[in-house]
């Protein structure tokens, strides 16, 4: 059944009328009291026992101390309480949102409800029914309802968020340091979650909290603060990332961090082609494979036909990036005169050609160069200035393992790629890329050489992917053809890379980094998604296109294009997670 504009308008009026009736059922002071009281009850309920058996992960049988998912309920209730006090005009909390702004309050109330009910539902599913809930579990089920009712009963005032006044430099830098530390805490908590239910609950709490504070204008004020303190913010972000391996006692988590950086760096290179220039490249992962195979062939592996020609890593990195750039030029030169779907089809073909070629260079179907499906194993660890990255090192009380060493190296590579992306995007060639993305015909009419400009983007993106591939070959010890396909079960592949750029936010620096982190970490933590990853990501992209088509971290230009109707309300939180222009 199709809905006409009149039908849609009638439905909206009916919903507004129903909400208006609810808002008028209680007075504002009573609604405020219900909201704050419900938040306090939600926090208190987490200090009760929710189940009688310790078979559920996290041990929720203890009275007086939260455990596992109960801590997320405490967090959701605390966020709700603080937002409630801020919305009611309590001094000192105005930074969370303007006085009287209840949209964020409602979202946090829904988040507290979703977090607690998810935990109770997980207990029922894991243990076999609601009979496994104790009295504390039932208290938790209903504790948040007064807060939700009070938040819905408050008038839906939508005051515009006023920009925060500039503070003294030392206070702003202290706030930036706190933001960087909070980001490190969130990432560390997510990567250390020991079971799927805890990670799912974390995503629920984080999602509702982010949606609420995006609406309250907190991200907009944070973005303005980071813009004013751009150099210090970049240094703080780098320091927080460098501290991550020192917080890990499990080398597996450092390995996950390394792979996230590799995935994110390649996605950022693809962002030059897709986000800035508007070229749909569906075979981009092949350039990562070119860099990885180049490094594997010349780094001294006994299974390489060129194992006698071993070169140091810095030379292998330059050669891998250069060979990938040459492939980018060779592939782009005959194909970049195509546009749209035709270009996408050709790039898919290039990706498949690369995958089949490295499989057939096994000495049987072709020359023995890549060892076919078996790949090139036993790639030696990188040694820089006599320092082997494959050996654990002790610094004081900290032990820096193999993957921690590679994390630091990959962090430097990521900074190089960010610097290249930022400088290129803000340069004359970057403005030409954006002009071609917006309208290639108009750009050429203004004197821009469209073919040469697109070829430059293609070659630069390929070189950045090849640079990351040289590190990836040493991290994994083995280079095989399986990952370098359009769509596969594990990242990185072209579909995952494209999804990371679109999900995070095209044309930004922090968007692909965030999108790649989510797309790598979620399948790593949620094992049941491993066989349904493409389905899950497809659903996520559909929802994203419906509710936030500009991506999680929005480029201001694209955000204005997608939200012209509600411009005053949505134009604020562009590039909210970190700085786009600063490259953080």
Residues 55-72 pLDDT 10s: 899 889 999 899 889 999
Q: Which helix (H) or strand (E) holds 442?
A: helix 440-445
* pLDDT greater than 60 at residue 78: yes
Contact 152, 23 (CB under 8 A): yes
Give the length of the chain.
Answer: 584
Q: Give which of 227, 134, 218 is closest to 182, Cα–Cα.
A: 218
List the structure tokens of 433.
């890329």
* pLDDT greater than 90 at residue 177: yes
**Per-residue pLDDT at 575:** 39
Check: CATH 1.10.287 for 253-533? no
Model confidence at 12, pLDDT cuts 50, 70, 90, reads low
Model confidence at 571, pLDDT cuts 50, 70, 90, reads very low
C-alpha distances in Å from residue 459, one per residue of 251, 269, 301: 35, 10, 28
Q: Which helix (H) or strand (E) holds 395?
A: strand 393-395
Q: 492 preceded by cis ω (within 30°)?
A: yes
List the structure tokens of 478.
């083995």
**Per-residue pLDDT at 95:** 58
**Whole-model pTM?**
0.84
* pLDDT greater than 50 at residue 546: yes
**Per-residue pLDDT at 397:** 73
Which residue blocks in 88-134 are alpha helix, DSSP H? 103-127
196-240 confidence digits (pLDDT tens) = 889 999 999 999 998 888 877 788 888 888 888 888 998 999 999
Residue 548: φ, ψ to 5°: -150, 75
* pLDDT greater than 90 at residue 152: no
Domain ranges, ordered by start, for the chain:
22-233, 253-533
**Per-residue pLDDT at 560:** 60
* pLDDT greater than 50 at residue 174: yes
Identify the residue with better confidence: 581 or 471. Answer: 471
Q: How far apart are CA 421 and CA 408, in angstroms?
A: 20
* pLDDT greater than 70 at residue 162: no
**Per-residue pLDDT at 576:** 37
**Per-residue pLDDT at 485:** 85
Rounded average pLDDT over 381-409: 84
The answer for 63, left when phi > 0, alpha when psi is -120 to 50, beta otherwise, is: beta
Cβ-based neighbours of 192, under 8 Å, separated by 6 or more? 248, 253
- Four-CA torsion 193, 195, 201, 202, nearest 10 degrees: 10
Identify the residue with better confidence: 308 or 426. Answer: 426
Model confidence at 439, pLDDT cuts 50, 70, 90, reads confident
21-46 confidence digits (pLDDT tens) = 445 556 777 888 888 999 999 999 99
List the structure tokens of 550.
């500009």
**Per-residue pLDDT at 25:** 55
Residue 280: how many other CB atoms lie within 10 Å? 16
Cβ-based neighbours of 203, under 8 Å, separated by 6 or more? 522
* pLDDT greater than 90 at residue 321: yes
Model confidence at 73, pLDDT cuts 50, 70, 90, reads very high
For the chain, percent of residues with pLDDT exceeding 70: 85
Q: Which residue has the tokens 């630069």?
A: 460
Rounded average pLDDT over 505-520: 87
* pLDDT greater than 70 at residue 432: yes
């Amino acid at each position: 059944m199709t809905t006409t504009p009149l039908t849609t308008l009638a439905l909206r009026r009916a919903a507004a009328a129903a909400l208006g009736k609810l808002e008028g059922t209680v007075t504002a002071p009573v609604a405020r009291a219900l909201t704050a009281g419900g938040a306090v009850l939600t926090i208190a309920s987490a200090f009760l026992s929710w189940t009688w058996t310790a078979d559920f992960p996290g041990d929720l049988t203890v009275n007086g101390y939260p455990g596992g998912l109960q801590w997320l309920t405490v967090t959701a209730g605390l966020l709700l309480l603080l937002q409630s006090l801020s919305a009611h005009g309590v001094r000192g909390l105005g930074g969370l949102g303007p006085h009287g702004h209840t949209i964020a309050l409602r979202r946090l109330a829904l988040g507290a409800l979703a977090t607690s009910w998810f935990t109770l539902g997980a207990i029922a599913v894991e243990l076999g029914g609601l009979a496994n809930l104790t009295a504390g579990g039932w208290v938790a089920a209903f504790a948040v309802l007064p807060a939700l009712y009070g938040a819905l009963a408050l008038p839906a005032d939508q005051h515009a968020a006023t920009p925060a006044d500039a503070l003294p430099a030392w206070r702003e830098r202290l706030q930036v340091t706190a933001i960087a530390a909070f980001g490190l805490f969130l990432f560390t908590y997510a990567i250390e979650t020991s079971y799927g239910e805890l990670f799912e609950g974390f995503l629920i709490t984080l999602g509702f909290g982010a949606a609420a504070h995006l609406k309250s204008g907190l991200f907009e004020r944070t973005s303005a603060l980071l813009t004013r303190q751009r150099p210090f913010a970049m240094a703080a972000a780098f320091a927080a990332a460098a501290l991550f391996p020192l917080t890990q006692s499990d080398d597996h988590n450092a390995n996950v961090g390394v792979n996230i950086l590799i995935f994110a760096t390649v996605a950022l290179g693809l962002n030059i082609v897709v986000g800035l220039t508007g070229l749909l490249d569906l075979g981009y992962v092949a350039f990562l494979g070119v860099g990885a195979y180049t490094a594997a062939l010349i780094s001294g592996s006994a299974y390489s036909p060129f194992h006698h020609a071993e070169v140091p890593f810095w030379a292998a990195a330059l050669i891998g990036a250069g060979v990938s750039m040459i492939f980018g030029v060779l592939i782009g030169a005959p194909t970049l005169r195509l546009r749209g779907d035709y270009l996408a089809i050709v790039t898919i073909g290039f990706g498949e050609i690369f995958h089949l070629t490295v499989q057939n260079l096994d000495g049987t179907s072709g020359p023995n160069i890549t060892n076919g499906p078996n790949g090139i194993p036993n790639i030696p660890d990188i040694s820089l200035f006599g320092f082997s990255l494959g050996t654990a090192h002790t610094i004081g009380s900290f032990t820096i393992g193999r993957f921690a060493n590679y994390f630091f190296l990959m962090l430097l590579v990521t900074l190089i790629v960010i610097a290249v992306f930022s400088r290129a995007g803000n340069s004359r060639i970057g403005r030409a890329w954006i002009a071609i993305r917006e309208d290639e015909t108009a750009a050429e009419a203004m004197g821009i050489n469209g073919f040469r400009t697109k070829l430059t983007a293609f070659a630069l993106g390929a070189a950045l992917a090849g640079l990351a591939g040289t590190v990836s070959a040493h991290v994994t010890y083995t280079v095989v053809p399986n990952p370098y396909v359009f769509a596969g079960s594990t990242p990185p592949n072209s579909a995952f890379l494209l999804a990371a750029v679109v999900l995070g936010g095209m044309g930004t620096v922090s968007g692909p980094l965030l999108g790649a982190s989510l797309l790598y970490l979620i399948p790593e933590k949620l094992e049941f998604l491993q066989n349904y990853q493409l389905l899950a990501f497809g659903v996520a992209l559909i929802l994203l296109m419906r509710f936030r088509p500009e991506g999680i971290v929005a480029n201001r230009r694209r955000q204005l294009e997608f939200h012209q109707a509600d411009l005053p309300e949505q134009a604020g939180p562009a590039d909210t997670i970190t700085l786009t222009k600063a490259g953080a």
